[in-house]
């Protein structure tokens, strides 16, 4: 049971993720050449608008994509009422946005990121 | 045949045939002994049982030559057109198991209610939306027109519902329109004489529409006419996505 708009949104979010995944992997391979330390990562990412937008859009795309995919799987494999499935998947999307957003802020914000415990 | 040589397998043994009996969702398998014969089809087996063992056995057939699409059943748990399925091809040991088509309500024994299957053809707008009247010229469509080729690839469907019975997405989602209805919709979408491509795309974009297909390919695997509804469904997905992104519905004939 899938809504056509959700179907398109899931494909579009996948299209956004493809270059971001390759960008992420490429940077990882490049970055570990000189050893991987927290200081080295934070030195590159903290205060960078570019990395904030890169991983920020990644988190948004992943949250949307995963929530729609799980909605389809849950509705096909369980007898859960659709209303409950929708509530569950909205919650999953919100959770992914919260956790992902917190992680992005933690590595791109200069100084102590808001809402992030040291 | 020289003395002492083994008899052909068909003369050596009979078949143990388990046939599903019942109605209204209740029933079970009943076993019959059926003589083995050369070039015997599954429909021959069912007919033999009705004529020689139990005249109450209910089943459906018409043409016996793979044209009408009436006689499809589950044979050893796989959907088959029984009039063209030879026992040799599907026999495992000496036993056959014959049941009504999956994913459809059973009326009695081997006869299913085909209404849900055909109702979905209507729901998919798989009907002609005419452009011409009796005074119009014939539509000139060349055999190599790409739209004509797309339509031709699905036009030999005999409505047997084998693909519908094979589809796990239908099994999991009773609202899903199914491979046959969607393939018919795609055929009409590619027909230059059909004027309402948008109505077709709207109909196949609902909650039971083409986007539910997981491209598992059971429809193409089991189609007795070797059609490929999965490809037709992929065509509908592309057409609906193109309309979503560009606003353009049906492509004009080239």
pLDDT digits (tens, 9 = 90+) for B139-198: 899 999 999 999 999 999 999 999 999 999 999 888 999 999 999 999 999 998 898 999
Residue B241 in contact with partner chain A when CB distance is under 8 A = yes
Same domain, B74 and B184: no
Domain end position, chosen among B78, B112, B146: B112
Distance CA B227, CA B6 (A): 41
The answer, yes or no, to whether residue B98 has pLDDT greater than 80, is yes
Residues with Cβ < 8 Å from A70, sequence gap 6 or more? A89, A92
Question: What distance in Å separates the CA atoms of residue B222 and residue B74, rounded to the nearest whole number?
Answer: 11
Q: Given the DSSP bridges, would you call strands B95-99 and B14-23 parallel, antiparallel or unpaired? A: parallel
- Residue A43 has a pLDDT of 84
Mean per-residue pLDDT of chain B: 91
Distance CA B13, CA B26 (A): 32
Does residue B252 lie in a domain region?
A: no
CA distance A73 to chain B (A): 11
User: Which CATH number goes with the domain that contains B55?
Assistant: 3.10.20.30
Domain boundaries, chain A: 1-15+50-109
Asked if B79 is an interface residue toward chain A (Cβ–Cβ < 8 A), one would say no
3-class secondary-structure state, position B26: strand
- In the prediction, which pLDDT does A23 show? 94
The closest of B20, B200, B186 to B99, measured between CA atoms, is: B20
Q: Which of A3, A4, A76 sits opposite B172 (nearest CB)?
A: A76
| Residue B1 belongs to some domain of the structure | no
Q: Which residues of B touch A7 (CB under 8 A)?
A: 211
Looking at chain B, the whole-number percentage of residues with pLDDT higher than 70 is: 94
Q: Considering the domain boundaries, does residue B3 fall inside one? A: no
Side-chain-side CA neighbours of B191 within 13 Å: the count stands at 21
Residue B2 has pLDDT above 50, yes or no: no
Residue B116 has pLDDT above 90, yes or no: yes
**String of DSSP letters for B213-240:** -----HHHHH-TT---HHHHHHHHHHHH
- Rounded to whole angstroms, the Cα distance separating A66 from A60 reads 10
Mean pLDDT is lowest, of B133-137, B171-175, B248-252, for B248-252
d(CA A19, CA A22) in angstroms, rounded, equals: 5
Structure-token match 């509908």, residue found: B236
In chain A, which residues have their Cβ closer than 8 Å to the Cβ of B241? 8, 11
Q: Quick one: pLDDT at residue A41?
A: 82
Is residue B4 situated within a structural domain? no
Chain B residue with minimum CA distance to A4? B205
DSSP letter, residue B153? T
Residue A114 DSSP SS3: coil
State residue B222's pLDDT score.
97
Same domain, residue pair B122 and B200? yes
B209 CB neighbours in chain A (<8 A) are 4
Predicted pLDDT at A71: 95
Residue A71 CB neighbour total at 10 angstroms = 23
Domains held by chain B: number: 2
Is the pLDDT reported for residue A65 higher than 90? Answer: yes
Residues B13 and B99 in one domain: yes
Interval A13-46: pLDDT, tens: 999 999 999 999 998 888 888 777 888 888 888 9
Cα–Cα distances (Å) from B251 to A84, B1, B254, in that order, read 40, 65, 8
Q: What is the pLDDT of residue B4?
A: 47
Q: State the pLDDT confidence band at B92, using cuts at 50, 70 and 90.
A: confident
The residues, any chain, with a CB within 8 Å of residue A71's CB and separated by 6 or more, are: A2, A6, A85, A86, A89
Q: Is the pLDDT of residue B105 over 90?
A: yes
Asked if A107 and A44 touch (Cβ cutoff 8 Å), the reply is no
Name every chain A residue with its beta carbon within 8 A of the beta carbon of B172.
Answer: 76-77
Is the same domain home to B40 and B158?
Answer: no
The token pair that represents A56 in the structure block:
């920020």
Please report how the helices B229-246 and B179-189 are oriented relative to each other, as an axis angle in degrees rounded to 10. Answer: 60
> CB of B239 within 8 A of CB of B182?
no
For residues B89 and B209, membership in a common domain is answered with no
The answer to whether residues B237 and B144 belong to one domain is yes
| 8 A C-beta contact, residue B223 and residue B229 | yes
Residue-number span of the structural domain to which B13 is assigned: 9-112
Are residues B149 and B169 located together in one domain of the fold? Answer: yes
Same domain? B173 vs B214: yes
Give the pLDDT confidence of B57-68 residue by residue, as tens digits.
999 999 999 999
Q: What is the pLDDT of residue B253?
A: 52
Instruction: Please check whether residue B205 touches A, CB under 8 A.
Output: yes
- Tokens found for residue A65: 């994509």
B20 located within any domain: yes
Whether B55 and B89 map to the same domain: the answer is yes
Q: Does residue B119 share a domain with residue B108?
A: no
> Exposure string (b/e) for B227-239, b if CB count within 10 Å is 16 or more?
bbbbbbbebbbeb
B207 touches chain A (CB under 8 A): yes
- Do residue B233 and residue B193 come from a single domain? yes
Nearest to B114 by CA among B82, B72, B79: B72
Q: Is residue B133 included in any domain, yes or no?
A: yes
The token pair at A60 is 């948004």
């Amino acid at each position: 049971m899938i809504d056509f708009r959700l179907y398109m949104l899931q494909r579009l979010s996948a299209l956004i993720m493809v270059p971001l995944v390759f960008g992420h992997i490429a940077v990882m391979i490049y970055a570990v050449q000189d050893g991987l330390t927290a200081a080295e990562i934070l030195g590159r990412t903290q205060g960078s608008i570019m990395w904030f937008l890169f991983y920020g859009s990644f988190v948004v795309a992943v949250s949307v994509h995963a929530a729609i995919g799980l909605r389809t799987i849950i509705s096909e494999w369980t007898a859960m009422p659709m209303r409950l499935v929708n509530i569950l998947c909205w919650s999953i999307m919100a959770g992914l946005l919260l956790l992902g957003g917190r992680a992005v802020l933690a590595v791109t914000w200069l100084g102590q990121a808001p809402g992030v415990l040291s | 045949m020289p003395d002492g040589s083994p008899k052909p397998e068909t003369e050596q043994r009979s078949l143990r045939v388990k046939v599903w009996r019942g109605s209204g969702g209740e029933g079970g398998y009943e076993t019959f002994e059926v003589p083995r014969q050369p070039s015997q089809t599954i429909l021959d087996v069912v007919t033999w049982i009705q004529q020689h063992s139990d005249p109450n056995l209910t089943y459906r057939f018409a043409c016996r030559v793979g044209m009408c699409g009436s006689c499809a059943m589950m044979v050893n748990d796989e959907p088959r057109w029984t009039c063209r399925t030879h026992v040799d091809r599907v026999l495992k040991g000496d036993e056959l198991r014959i049941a009504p088509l999956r994913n459809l309500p059973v009326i009695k024994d081997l006869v299913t209610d085909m209404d849900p299957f055909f109702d979905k053809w209507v729901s998919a707008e798989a009907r002609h939306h005419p452009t011409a009247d009796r005074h119009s010229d014939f539509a000139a469509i060349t055999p190599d027109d790409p739209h004509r080729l797309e339509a031709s690839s699905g036009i030999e469907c005999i409505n047997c519902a084998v693909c519908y019975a094979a589809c796990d997405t239908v099994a999991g989602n009773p609202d899903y329109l199914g491979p046959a209805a969607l393939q018919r919709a795609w055929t009409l979408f590619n027909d230059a004489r059909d004027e309402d491509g948008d109505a077709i795309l709207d109909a196949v974009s609902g909650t039971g529409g083409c986007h539910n297909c997981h491209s598992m390919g059971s429809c193409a695997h089991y189609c007795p006419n070797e059609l490929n509804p999965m490809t037709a469904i992929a065509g509908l997905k592309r057409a609906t996505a193109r309309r979503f992104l560009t606003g353009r519905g049906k492509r004009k004939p080239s």
